Amino acid sequence: MAHPTTDKITVPSLVARKTVGPRIVCLTAYDFPTARILDEAGVDLILVGDSLGMVVLGFENTVPVTMEEMIHHTKAVTRAVRRALVVGDMPYFSFHLSSEETIRNASRFLKEAGAAAVKIEGASKKRLKLVEALVEAEIPVMGHVGLTPQSVHSLGRFRVRGAAAAEGRAILEGARALEKAGAFSVVLESVPMELAKEVTESVGIPTIGIGAGPACDGQVLVVHDLLGYSTGYLPKFVRKYADLHGTISRAVGEYAEDVRAGRFPDDRTSYHLKPAERPTGPGPAGRAASRKGRAA
């Protein structure tokens, strides 16, 4: 089998991973440098999530995120990515009015932003019809059940979903219905691991878990959470693999001290005149430097 970092990931090759493995590695990204690092590190699937609103734009939840913001950030990500499959997240109210508008918005992720697929939250009857319409329009769709953050106001708060039997059954049926409607994979967010296992064993498409335990066919995390670059609350399911907040904070602190102490910039980080063009006497530059008590 080819090395996992060399084969371009496509929708069919991702679906095949359900049976042939290995587990699908997915992370979010919202900008060029992060997407380039993730892609080079062999991440299979890069989701330009509407978590953008919370971890990059400073909103309290994902509801305010707009199509324009999603397209802008998806473009930056696809410019960086060579191998991973890029999925654009349909933001709140981009798929709520009509199937025509939903298709038009979804198509922008493919036509303008260069993504290969879109993700859409929920599995209501109306949502399933939209998934069918998108698939019919040649737009691959990733479903999303369990905790659907765009429903924050109707749910009241972010919480584990599917712990009660009826809610668990609805999630299982939702995932099955999404597969039937043509979705190529489904995100399971914040559900008990036993339920995620049952869903994973009941559908023929890959399940991508976030807070859904180890039985899923793949895992996703918000990259800022994994890197320790988020501010505020971190859900129980996050494992921090780095402390970027600390690293950046220390670096900026050192820079500030150096600027204040006159240690930055120094000779190495400054441009120089050629020796023949250097001022000989105490010209304006020399006089200004000596006024500050520094050598010219």
Active site residues: 189
Question: Which of 193/286 has CB closer to ligand KIV?
Answer: 193
For residues 235 and 213, is the Cβ–Cβ distance under 8 A?
Answer: no
Rounded to a whole number of angstroms, the minimum distance from the CB of residue 171 to ligand KIV is: 15
Six token digits for residue 225: 């959470």
Q: Among 39, 44, 50, 198, which residue sits at the site for ligand KIV (rule: CB under 6 A)?
A: 50
Q: Which residues contact 153 (CB under 8 A, 6 or more apart)?
A: 63
CA angle 211, 176, 44 (to 5 degrees): 50
Burial of 125-139, coded b for 16+ CB within 10 Å and e otherwise, reads eebbebbbbbeeeeb
Choices 11-19, 49-57, 80-88, 267-275 (CB under 6 A): range interacting with ligand KIV: 49-57
Q: 28, 102, 190, 207: which one contacts ligand KIV (CB under 6 A)?
A: 28
Q: 39 or 189: whose CB is closer to ligand KIV? A: 189
CB of 60 to ligand KIV, least distance (A): 14
Rule CB under 6 A: is residue 65 a binding residue for ligand KIV? no
Positions in 106-145 near ligand KIV (CB under 6 A):
none
Between 115 and 222, name the residue whose CB sits nearer to ligand KIV.
222
Among 45, 49, 177, 192, binds ligand KIV (CB under 6 A): 49
Question: 212: alpha, beta or left, given left = phi > 0 and alpha = psi -120 to 50?
Answer: alpha
Per CB under 6 A, 216 contacts ligand KIV: no
Residue 210 binds ligand KIV, judged by CB under 6 A: yes
Q: Pick from 30, 44, 51, 190: which binds ligand KIV (CB under 6 A)?
A: 51
> Environment class of residue 201 by beta-carbon count within 10 Å: exposed (0-12), middle (13-18) or buried (19+)?
exposed
Nearer to ligand KIV, 160 or 220 (CB): 220
Interacting span for ligand KIV (CB under 6 A) from 42-50, 101-109, 246-254, 261-269: 42-50
**CB 21, min distance to ligand KIV, A:** 21
Per CB under 6 A, the list member of 118, 130, 178, 220 interacting with ligand KIV is: 220
* Range 172-177 contact pairs with CB under 8 angstroms and sequence separation of 24 or more: 172/198, 172/199, 172/202, 173/123, 174/122, 174/123, 174/143, 174/145, 175/123, 175/143, 175/145, 175/199, 175/202, 175/203, 175/207, 176/202, 176/203, 177/123, 177/128
Q: Which is nearer to ligand KIV, 96 or 276 (CB)?
A: 96
Phi, psi of 129 (to 5 degrees): -60, -40
Cβ neighbourhood burial of 57 (10 Å; 0-12, 13-18, 19+): middle
Instruction: Tell me: does residue 187 bind ligand KIV (CB under 6 A).
Output: yes
Q: How far is the CB of 144 from ligand KIV (least distance, A)?
A: 6
Helix, coil or strand: residue 146: strand
Alpha carbon dihedral 74, 75, 81, 85, in 10-degree steps, equals: 40
Q: Which is nearer to ligand KIV, 90 or 172 (CB)?
A: 90
- For binding to ligand KIV (CB under 6 A), which residues are involved? 28, 47, 49-51, 89, 187, 189, 210, 220, 222
